[in-house]
Amino acid sequence: MAVRFISEVKRTHTCGELSAKDIGKEVVLFGWVHNRRDHGGAVFIDLRDREGLTQVVFEPGISKETHELAGSLRLEYCVGIQGKVVSRGHQVNPKLKTGEIEVRATELTIFNRSEPTPFPIEDRIDTSEEKRLQYRYLDLRRAPLQRSIIARSRANQITRTYLTEHGFLELETPFMGKYTPGGARNFLVPSRLNPGKFYALAESPQLYKQLFMVSGFDRYFQIVRCFRDEDLRLDRQPEFTQIDLEMSFVSQEDVFAVIEGLIQRLWKELLGVDVPIPFPRMDYDESMARYGNDKPDLRFGLEHVVLTDLIARHGEAGGVPLMYEAVKNKGIVKAMVIPADKPLSRAETDKLEEYVKGMGAAGLGRAKVNESGEWTQSPFSKTITPALRTAINEAVKAKPGDLILFQFGREAMVHTVMANLRVHLAKKLGLIPEYGSGGVWKFLWVVNPPLFEYDEDAKAWVAAHHAFTRPHDDSLPYLESDPGRVKCWRYDVVLNGFELGGGSIRLHDPKVQAQVFRALGISDEEARNKFGFLLDALKYGAPPHGGIALGMDRLVMLLTGAESLRDVVAFPKTQKGTDLMTGAPGEVDERQLREVYVKSTPPAK
């Protein structure tokens, strides 16, 4: 007379909660067979659910029938058991939370058998990502992924609670909107009802949330999916989630305070870590100079030193023609010091050179500093003047035994190469772990960036963020005369070298807006065409407003120490944007295409 699990006998506990104080209780557990140890006589299984593991023992003396059935159990069978919690006596398993007890089973039912899984369901990942993504539902059974996904759920919960407490309304915006130029490439959705026309999937709710401010909702937030058809990276997915918010009647500092409070709460509740606030602030220009990008990892030094002016001052006479040439061509020169106590072998430096060449560098200049400050192992040592050498040594604060690395040429290239080199070296030298925080959380606001960037290809100024960012008042005179000098109320929040989020105070003055468009070379007509509805909206008493969006996926990735963004997304895409489990994107038949008035012309092989 087997018990009827589920319909009559309900689960009493999870596999992670039984302990010595439950000894003697009659319990029912449901879960998966995580491991089995069959001694012929006694059969042990570790039963797993999302909360943990509990050892279950089947003995012929307790129930011959149940024990026999237990002998047929295999890994990942889904089962229910009933039995009594007993002490393990002195045979405690200290590795398990439930290791003081075990359940002596009287009843067992096999809900479903399992074929041998294509890879083992265990904590350690040593299966190719390809296999893991193909059988994502099995990969998600693994404890580290379960922890990430559960942490993500809690982060969502905490965010909603916090923002609601702070007067924010959770409002929804359309995914399918009108294509607007600029920014990321959009995914397009053909319209069956409007032949030849397309929706664009929202790359962010940017414009809608500003319209909410115009409507007077005052404080908006949304945990929202965004879509961008760009190349992927370790920390980028084509669809990703943002904690998006917008506030009326605020300064930059007001936005910072809300975000700092949210992050503080998330870190406290999820990790028990006290994050000090306010976060430090750093000027964009300073970040570029010292770290080569606008998302510096402040957990370690290896800062850059800009030598451009120094090289220019010494000119041709300095004896380093390559560097001088770079400066003459409007390039820059940067250096970085590898301290003497972290020596690199010749082979290792050669490898670094290969590494930087992969990013577009022509090479990697180096100089080893000896006791008297002279340079060895350096292509510059023969020709450089002692004066310039001394000046550089001083500028980079080089000590005997240090290795100076140089990079010079086009500004963007030098920054990129040096920024990546800095992080690469930090990992190599053991200053930071390969991934994860190492328990160190360095938050930072990067502020006061330029409003415009010069697009070399288009030979024109383009908006660095978007065209609705408010310039600093004292920059207004340069809007037309010297656009590169215009700073703006834009900000990024950075954690350990990752951009967690960014936003801006928006432009709500139509006059200044018109000036910005002019600087961008956008005609009134063009502006009207592209952003007409927003420009119109700003005419009807739009409040001053600003906002920010945090990358939820990245936030959880950093919070949980995950190696990749893919580990905190339940069903992620590969680097080519495919889903190895479902096979998306897939082909559709001719009839479906005709229905939406689309003709497909893939490139010939």
Partner RNA sequence: GGGGAGUUAGUUCAGCUGGUUAGAACGCCGGCCUGUCACGCCGGAGGUCAGGGGUUCAAGUCCCCUACUCCUCGCCA
> Could you tell me which stretch among 39-47, 209-217, 305-313, 396-404 binds RNA (CB under 7 A)?
39-47
> Could you tell me which stretch among 171-179, 509-517, 537-545, 575-583 binds RNA (CB under 7 A)?
575-583
Note whether 93 binds RNA by CB under 7 A.
Answer: yes
Least separation, in Å, of the C-beta of 283 and RNA?
A: 14
The DSSP 8-state label assigned to residue 450 in this structure reads: B
Beta bridge partners, 43, equal: 38, 58
Tell which positions 437-476 bind RNA, by CB under 7 A. 449, 464-465
Neighbours of 591 (CB within 10 A): 7
Least separation, in Å, of the C-beta of 419 and RNA?
A: 8
Measured between alpha carbons, how far is 91 from 88 in angstroms, rounded to an integer?
5
Binding mask 501-520 for RNA (x = CB under 7 A): xx------------------
The residue (of 576 and 591) whose beta carbon lies closer to RNA is 576
Least separation, in Å, of the C-beta of 457 and RNA?
A: 8
> Is residue 252 a contact partner of residue 264, using CB atoms and an 8 Å limit?
no
Least separation, in Å, of the C-beta of 421 and RNA?
A: 10
Note whether 595 binds RNA by CB under 7 A.
Answer: no
DSSP state letters, 458-512: TTEEEESS-TTBPBPGGGTTHHHH-GGG-BBSEEEEEETTEEEEEEEEBP--HHH
Note whether 120 binds RNA by CB under 7 A.
Answer: yes
Beta bridge partners, 492, equal: 446, 502
Angle at 231 between CA 227 and CA 232, to 5 degrees: 80
The residue (of 89 and 196) whose beta carbon lies closer to RNA is 89
Note whether 44 binds RNA by CB under 7 A.
Answer: yes
The residue (of 133 and 505) whose beta carbon lies closer to RNA is 133
> Is residue 78 a contact partner of residue 141, using CB atoms and an 8 Å limit?
no
The residue (of 359 and 535) whose beta carbon lies closer to RNA is 359
Contacts of residue 357, Cβ cutoff 8 Å, sequence gap at least 6: 363, 364
Read off the tokens for 148.
């990430």
Tell which positions 249-278 bind RNA, by CB under 7 A. none
Least separation, in Å, of the C-beta of 398 and RNA?
A: 27
> Is residue 260 a contact partner of residue 278, using CB atoms and an 8 Å limit?
yes
Read off the tokens for 287.
């970040």
> Could you tell me which stretch among 22-30, 54-62, 191-199, 510-518 binds RNA (CB under 7 A)?
54-62
**SS3 of residue 220 by DSSP:** strand
Measured between alpha carbons, how far is 373 from 159 in angstroms, rounded to an integer?
55
Residue choice 59, 239, 286, 374 for contact with RNA (CB under 7 A)? 59
SS (H, E, C) 96-155: CCCCCEEEEEEEEEEEECCCCCCCCCCCCCCCCHHHHHHCHHHHCCCHHHHHHHHHHHHH
> Is residue 107 a contact partner of residue 3, using CB atoms and an 8 Å limit?
yes
The residue (of 300 and 380) whose beta carbon lies closer to RNA is 300
Tell which positions 138-177 bind RNA, by CB under 7 A. none
The residue (of 198 and 355) whose beta carbon lies closer to RNA is 355
Residue choice 111, 118, 274, 595 for contact with RNA (CB under 7 A)? 118
Residue choice 14, 127, 156, 370 for contact with RNA (CB under 7 A)? 127
Note whether 136 binds RNA by CB under 7 A.
Answer: no
> Is residue 379 a contact partner of residue 416, using CB atoms and an 8 Å limit?
no
Least separation, in Å, of the C-beta of 602 and RNA?
A: 11
The DSSP 8-state label assigned to residue 365 in this structure reads: E
Residue choice 397, 511, 539, 576 for contact with RNA (CB under 7 A)? 576
Tell which positions 352-391 bind RNA, by CB under 7 A. 357-360
Note whether 490 binds RNA by CB under 7 A.
Answer: yes
Tell which positions 295-354 bind RNA, by CB under 7 A. none
Note whether 561 binds RNA by CB under 7 A.
Answer: no
Going by C-alpha positions, the residue among 243, 242, 249, 241 that lies closest to residue 219 is 249
Note whether 41 binds RNA by CB under 7 A.
Answer: yes
- Total H helices, total E strands in the chain: 17, 23
Least separation, in Å, of the C-beta of 129 and RNA?
A: 4
**Amino acid found at 176:** M
Note whether 203 binds RNA by CB under 7 A.
Answer: yes
Note whether 244 binds RNA by CB under 7 A.
Answer: no
> Could you tell me which stretch among 160-168, 178-186, 244-252, 536-544 binds RNA (CB under 7 A)?
178-186
